[in-house]
Amino acid sequence: MKFLVTGGAGFIGSALVRHIISCNDNIVINVDKLTYAGNVNSLISISANDRYIFEHADICDAYAMQDIFAKHQPDVVMHLAAESHVDRSIDGPAAFMETNIIGTYTLLEAARNYWKALPEQRKQAFRFHHISTDEVYGDLHGTNDLFTETTPYEPSSPYSASKASSDHLVRAWHRTYGLPVIVTNCSNNYGPYHFPEKLIPLVILNALAGKPLPVYGKGNQIRDWLYVEDHARALYKVVTEGKVGETYNIGGHNEKQNIEVVLAICELMDELAPMHQRGYPLNTKHSSLITYVQDRPGHDLRYAIDAGKIERELGWKPEETFESGLRKTVLWYLNNKDWWQAVLDGSYQLERLGQGDRE
């Protein structure tokens, strides 16, 4: 099978591409614009594989999308390309509207026109899998409530509103045109190759550098944490075994307050990279670097996923606990300085020059 993955140089996308290439004989066409969050260094382990193809293109470019579908004749589309950072969406929402809404529309139309012309057998087998977020559901008010696949949408930020819009578009293309779609909504991901602006890698790298560890408000915001490689397994399971027209929530069963996450990272750093090894006084703790900062506007207090449906219907559940996944993550950052140093100094962006533009 040929899998067309959009945003395959991003954090979740690269984990998915690595998973598909390493676990079976399928072919992956990775379509990525290589914005600041796209990093071809995250794909070095599979980049020389003859079943991996890279296309440097923007999903908002209708002609490029039409050309890619015609050229590669995919059996499956897995759509992950998106602007995804809440703070950036507050500072500059326009890019989120363009990529997440217009880009999804453009990709849907390219997929629909391609799908309509397929022979009947391939047409029946074709899938368009849209990967989304639990943030579209908004804030959970009760301490025991969970997001289900039927929870009403109530997005709070420009980012989550744009993702909610894209979800609605995908379902409308299924309802109106019959395009065989599947939607997944996931909780917060973490793990290797995560861009350093996100909470867990930011805390790890700031701790390593002796910089302040910023915590919004009181740090009492609750998130359900999902190890990215568990998510990649779930996505492959859904697109190959899931039911057309259905939505599946994917969560890690790991609800933690942000301050709990930061403290857990500090404890691991104290164990694995103690501060005295970097010239600080003996017994100095990384938790001494924690700094509370003003909360961001519209910050939801609690997200939590009910992932019962995917477990019941498809037999998926996470393999990593939060403790095991976090330890793997901290160790990965400690052992892969070349990757994150290239991100911090910007040199990773030079890699795109070797990928070739479509213009």
Written as tens digits, the pLDDT of the chain (359 aa) is: 999 999 999 999 999 999 999 988 999 999 999 998 899 999 999 999 999 999 999 999 999 999 999 999 999 999 999 987 787 888 899 999 999 999 999 999 999 999 999 999 999 999 999 999 999 999 887 667 899 999 999 998 999 999 999 999 999 999 999 999 999 999 999 999 999 988 999 999 999 999 999 999 999 988 999 999 999 999 999 999 999 999 999 999 899 999 999 999 999 999 999 999 999 999 999 999 999 998 878 777 888 899 999 999 999 999 999 999 999 999 999 999 999 999 999 888 876 555 544 33
DSSP result, 150-164: TPPP---SHHHHHHH
The number of angstroms, rounded, from the C-alpha of 142 to the middle of its chain's C-alpha atoms is 26
Per the domain annotation, does 309 fall within a domain? Answer: yes
Does residue 115 lie within any of the structural domains? yes
Catalytic residue list contains 159: yes
| Distance separating alpha carbons of residues 86 and 251, to the nearest angstrom | 19
And the tokens for 268? Answer: 């691991």
Residue 338 falls inside a structural domain: no
Residue 203 lies in a domain: no
Angle value at C-alpha 103, between 31 and 41, nearest 5 degrees: 30
268-288 CB burial, b ≥16 within 10 A, e <16:
bbbeebebeeeeeeeebebee
In order, the DSSP letters of 74-103 are: -SEEEE------HHHHHH-THHHIIIIIII
pLDDT at 359: 32
Residue 245 sits in a domain of what CATH number? Answer: 3.40.50.720
Strands 188-190 and 213-216, bridge-based pairing? unpaired
Q: Pick the catalytic residue from 32, 55, 83, 134.
A: 134
Match 């998130």 to its residue by tokens.
223
Domains held by the chain: number: 1
Catalytic, out of 32, 55, 83, 135: 135
Instruction: Specify the amino acid at residue 51.
Output: R
Cα gap 283→270, rounded to integer Å: 9
**What 3-state DSSP class applies to 303?**
coil
> What span, in angstroms and rounded, lies between the C-alpha atoms of 186 and 249?
6
Residue 165 lies in a domain: yes
Cα separation of 65 and 71, whole Å?
10
Determine, yes or no, domain membership for 87: yes
Name the active-site residue from 114, 137, 159, 193: 159
Specify the length of the chain in residues: 359
According to DSSP, the β-strands at 222-227 and 247-250 are unpaired
Active site residue 267: no
User: Does some domain include residue 168?
Assistant: yes
Full domain range(s) for residue 181: 2-192+226-253+299-320
- Beta strand 255-257 with 76-79: parallel, antiparallel or unpaired? unpaired
134 is catalytic: yes
Classify residue 164: in a domain, yes or no.
yes
